[in-house]
Amino acid sequence: MAMTIHVDIVSAEGAIHSGQATMVYASAEVGEVGIAPRHTAFISRLKPGDVRVENEQGEQEHFYVSGGMLEVQPNVVTVLADTAIRAANLDEAAAQEAKRRAEEALAGQQAGFEYAKAQAELAEAIAQLRAIEKLRKTKRS
Amino acid sequence: MAGAKEIRTKIASIKSTQKITSAMEMVAASKMRKAQDRMSASRPYADKMLQVIHHLAQATPEYRHTFMATERPRKRVGYIVVSSDRGLCGGLNSNLFRRLSAEIKEQQAAGVEPVFCAIGSKALGFFKRFGGKVLAQATHLGDTPHIEDLIGTVKVMLDAFEAGEIDAIYVASNEFVNTMTQRPEIRQLVPIAPAEKPEEALPYHWDYIYEPDAHTVLDALLTRYIESLVYQSVVENVACEQAARMVAMKAASDNAGNLIDELQLVYNKARQAAITQEISEIVSGAAAV
């Protein structure tokens, strides 16, 4: 029997995969990594991309993660997947949005509300598009 | 006969109310089951993350992130208040707010200024009435909250903590004990309390290979960890909301049933009285002829 390593892929909204594998591939921040059983302890951020899990039958399962963390212990691989598209500027935009909403709701002002909301939504959409574009570029290269 | 007619319309209106409440009860029951599933689904992520954080804390004792730093003297503290968006769920929100205002009074007595972050429109409404500085808010998350919706709100608080504007962050939300009981809870989020159980010493020293480096990894991890904790409270609160609504609606349906029974008795009496009166009128009329 081939040596195996336990793989857990979890996201904040639920467990995605759990099982034994002979090899795990993931796109870490500095490049693609392959994890074999008894790999040394290793921790890295993940780029958006594929996580491939090869089981004992030699079949590969693909999971798309939009980023996250990869933790490797000699017998366990843990992928903490993000469910959201994360980028510093996107997070910042979300924070601004949350602040603005609070101020607006407490001030109770309605004037210009629709316009401001539309503007914020537009900004958010643009930021998201930019992130997606970036993701595509990094994937291609 | 006028009294009887009035009672009949009253019974009809209570019956339609009962239909609504029992429908809401059933909807809440099915939603509660789903919310509970989501609650348990989000646990492994936070558990795994906590494991990694403990490993990291052990492996690199020289680097202390601000979130894990020791307590600093408190001048201002932040509360993330998780409530429901809709009412008709019994005393769920008001219990939480009562618990919170007691806590705030205590803090203010100690000279600590509280600031808030509202999740759910009931919390926002509460702060509108109660007063208090609300830094950020997120409402209308629906029955299936997503972590994306919370990132911004949590970041506002974490940024304030890192900038030294607030010295601790708490989460106030309802804890799901069982379907009948939900307990308002206030838990400390940041600084992260050191692990309760002393970790068993590892047989040999080991460390991770970090990519790109320990600080970046730890920063990213801690932010996600805190977000996942807040997400968990939000999901738990949804389960609480549905459970509370189910119980409240069941009580309302039962009350409506009792009311209908009572009114039915009154109605029957009124009807019988009217009939008796009519007969006696006819009889006395016949006797007079």
Mean pLDDT, consecutive 10-residue stretches, chain B (289 aa), reads: 82 95 94 90 83 72 71 87 91 93 91 91 89 87 85 89 90 91 90 60 67 80 88 92 94 95 94 94 92
* Chain A / chain B CB contacts < 8 angstroms: 135
pLDDT at residue A118, rounded to an integer: 67
Active-site option among B24, B32, B89, B239: B89
Q: Quick check: A78 pLDDT over 70?
A: yes
Which residues have CB under 8 Å from A140's CB, separation 6+?
Answer: none
Q: What is the mean pLDDT of residues A3-20?
A: 87
Mean pLDDT of chain A: 79
pLDDT at residue B19, rounded to an integer: 95
Q: What is the mean pLDDT of residues A33-62?
A: 87
CA distance B7 to chain A (A): 44
Structure tokens at B80: 């993330």
Q: Which of B47, B54, B45, B48 is nearest to B208 (CA)?
A: B54
pLDDT at residue A5, rounded to an integer: 92
pLDDT at residue A111, rounded to an integer: 46
State the best of A40, A79, A89, A106 to mutate against chain B, taking most chain B CBs within 10 Å: A106
B positions 73-112 inside 8 Å of A (CB): none
Q: What is the mean pLDDT of residues A25-41?
A: 89
Q: What is the mean pLDDT of residues A43-49?
A: 85
pLDDT at residue B60, rounded to an integer: 63
The pairing of strands A14-21 and A5-11 is antiparallel
Q: Which residues of B touch A6 (CB under 8 A)?
A: none
Q: Which of A48, A37, A50, A44 is nearest to A1 (CA)?
A: A37
